[in-house]
Chains A and B, each alone.
Chain A
Amino acid sequence: MATESYEAAIKGLNDLLSTKADLGNVAAAKIKALTAELKELDSDNSDAIQRIKTGFTQFKTEKYLKNSALFNDLAKGQSPKFLVFACSDSRVCPSHILNFGPGEAFVVRNIANMVPPFDQKRHSGVGAAVEYAVVHLKVENILVIGHSCCGGIKGLMNIEDDAAPTQSDFIENWVKIGASARNKIKEEHKDLSYDDQCNKCEKEAVNVSLGNLLSYPFVRAAVVKNTLAIRGGHYNFVKGTFDLWELDFKTTPAFAFS
């Protein structure tokens, strides 16, 4: 039955084009677009699957097969020097913006690139990643990277003080990790526009995460021993810039009172 109505539609089109031949190009363009659209609807041939098939094939031919020594080594194990926290935002993959190649960076990606404080009961996902990277892989650097136009930070800035949780149970619960950053920005930068406040909050939230990293005993131990450095970064894709800063942490010799 579908074929009948299709045949009828095609006949109608042909009849029209036989009298108005100059519409031929227009018709061709629209038919091409329609064909592409219908391809997308076909579940086996979905756009996304085609996309990853192309992507994977390109990876295999242009990277994997051309660097077999590297990939053979990597198959045996990984020894990245970096642990990177980046936002899940599709625009800020660290492999792109900081050119990390295979084997270079152990990467955690979550909303607003947050590191919660050390907790043996909650947030075990991030805790596991920090522990694995620092204790097992013995990374030398931790980098927490925030970014411009972060939806998670906007969400954090929009939370009303002492309001009851809204419909988004999980998101709000998560971004609240950066609450002290929001409070600081709202207090110290009342005069700034909402966008400017968000921009400052993006960076301040990174600082909160850097501080939280130090609440992990194994992180603190490695930082004190100087085998691990922790740093913050902010990628601004509107301006095409990247800021980088350090967390300065040291203990002075003790003064003895007696």
Chain B
Amino acid sequence: MVQELGIREEFMDPNRETETSYDFLDEMRHRFLKFKRQKYLPEIEKFQALAIAQSPKVMVIGCADSRVCPSYVLGFQPGEAFTIRNVANLVTPVQNGPTETNSALEFAVTTLQVENIIVMGHSNCGGIAALMSHQNHQGQHSSLVERWVMNGKAAKLRTQLASSHLSFDEQCRNCEKESIKDSVMNLITYSWIRDRVKRGEVKIHGCYYNLSDCSLEKWRLSSDKTNYGFYISDREIWS
């Protein structure tokens, strides 16, 4: 079933049936060569060094949304940020068992030894909107999206308690922010993260990108040395 087409010339054959394949190939070739011309070749030494090993200092957990690529919005260059992207930038707690997200967390923290973890959420998140509009809580989730976003249930409940008088959109904005907090708190359910944060080896940050007004709100989860708890600090809004 899998047909490996290694030779570009095969696609150039005018008799080939699927013309869409040829256009697509052209577009992808154009995209890659632009990267190669504008970034890869001008910085070839850097890329050769990176080819030997990556040592990013940052890990980002972002949303899969096409408008919020962390590299694009936060300016990360190749080699700088180990990036996880899933629907609604959710981090599930350790007690929920293995997921794609916590396997990447494990690799980044224990093997790559990143020094910073950033959970980046954003406005107008479709995943959070699905969470907020999901009616049936009896466990009969009809869709995969609903099943996944229900990991943000606690954020939804807090949002509804605090802001049920607001419009649906405004509630979604609040839920997006509450969900980032939950994901950040879920990070420290992993002992190998919590220990490193306490020792000052890893810093955890939350950030919220509002794509209507291009502003970024960021804060840090600091470790309280007196009572072994955590608190939010260094809150800033960049706009």
Which residues of chain B (149-163) have a CB below 8 Å from chain A? 149
Q: Which residues of A contact B84 (CB under 8 A)?
A: 88, 109-110
- Give how many A residues have a beta carbon under 8 Å from the other chain's beta carbons: 92
B144 and A237 within 8 A (CB): no
Query: Do residues B104 and A110 form an inter-chain contact, with CB atoms below 8 A?
Result: yes
Is B39's beta carbon under 8 Å from chain A? yes
Known: A56-B238, A74-B211. A245 touches B6 (CB 8 A): yes
Query: Are the CB atoms of A44 and B85 closer together than 8 Å?
Result: no
Q: Fill in one digit per residue for B3-20: 1 if any A CB lies within 8 Å of its CB, else 0.
A: 111100000000000001
Known contacts A88-B104, A151-B111, A248-B1; decide if A74 and B67 are in contact (CB<8 Å): yes
A171 at the interface (CB under 8 A from B): yes
Please tell me which one of the listed residues B35, B74, B79, B144 contacts residue A128 in the complex, with CB atoms under 8 A apart: B144
Enumerate B205-228 residues with CB–CB distance to A below 8 Å.
205, 207, 211-212, 214, 216, 218, 220, 222
Distance, CA A107 to CA B105, complexed state (A): 18
Residues of A near B113 (CB, < 8 A) are none
Given A56-B216, A129-B64: A174 and B98 within 8 A (CB)?
yes
A90 touching B205 by the CB < 8 A rule? no
Compute how far the CA of A102 lies from the CA of B63 in the bound complex, rounded to whole angstroms: 13
Q: Which residue of B lies closest to A239 (CB)?
A: B51
Within 8 A of B (CB), among A38-93: 43-44, 46-49, 51-60, 63-65, 71, 74-75, 77-78, 80, 88-93
Task: Please determine whether B74 and A110 come into contact, CB atoms closer than 8 angstroms.
Answer: no
Which of A77, A109, A133, A151 has most chain B Cβ within 10 Å?
Answer: A109
CA distance A207 to B145 in the complex (A): 25
| Interface residues in chain B, defined as those with a beta carbon under 8 Å from any beta carbon in chain A | 1-6, 20-21, 24-25, 28-29, 31-32, 34-36, 39-41, 44, 47-48, 50-51, 54, 56-58, 64-67, 69, 71-87, 90, 98-108, 110-111, 115-116, 118, 124, 126-127, 143-145, 147-149, 203, 205, 207, 211-212, 214, 216, 218, 220, 222, 234, 238
In the complex, given contacts A90-B79, A106-B66, what are 4 additional A-B residue pairs having Cβ atoms less than 8 angstroms apart?
Answer: A55-B75, A95-B71, A111-B107, A240-B44
Query: Of A48, A120, A126, which contacts B100 at CB under 8 A?
Result: A126
Contact A125 B87 (CB under 8 A): yes
B100 to chain A, nearest CB (A): 4
Per the 8 Å Cβ criterion, residues 191-241 of A in contact with B are 207, 210-211, 229, 231, 233, 237-238, 240
The contact sample of 19 A-B pairs, CB cut-off 8 A, is A43-B203, A59-B73, A80-B66, A88-B104, A93-B71, A116-B100, A127-B147, A128-B144, A128-B145, A128-B147, A129-B86, A129-B87, A173-B103, A174-B103, A210-B2, A237-B40, A240-B36, A247-B3, A248-B3
A185 contacts chain B at the CB level, 8 A cutoff: no
Task: Choose among B1, B36, B66, B145 the residue that contacts A247 (Cβ–Cβ < 8 A).
Answer: B1
> What separation, in Å, do the CA atoms of A168 and B234 have in the docked complex?
33
Partner of B2, one of A54, A91, A174, A211: A211
B74 touches which of A56, A64, A120, A237 (Cβ 8 Å):
A56
Residues of B within 8 A of A53 (CB): 238
Contacts of A44 in B (CB 8 A): 234
Separation of A63 and B116 alpha carbons in the complex (Å): 26
Chain A residues within CB distance 8 Å of chain B:
43-44, 46-49, 51-60, 63-65, 71, 74-75, 77-78, 80, 88-93, 95-111, 114, 116, 120, 123-133, 136, 141, 148-149, 151-152, 168-171, 173-175, 207, 210-211, 229, 231, 233, 237-238, 240, 242-249
In the complex, how many angstroms separate the beta carbon of B171 from the nearest chain A beta carbon?
Answer: 18
CA–CA, A211 and B115, complex, Å: 36
A107 touches B85 (CB 8 A): yes
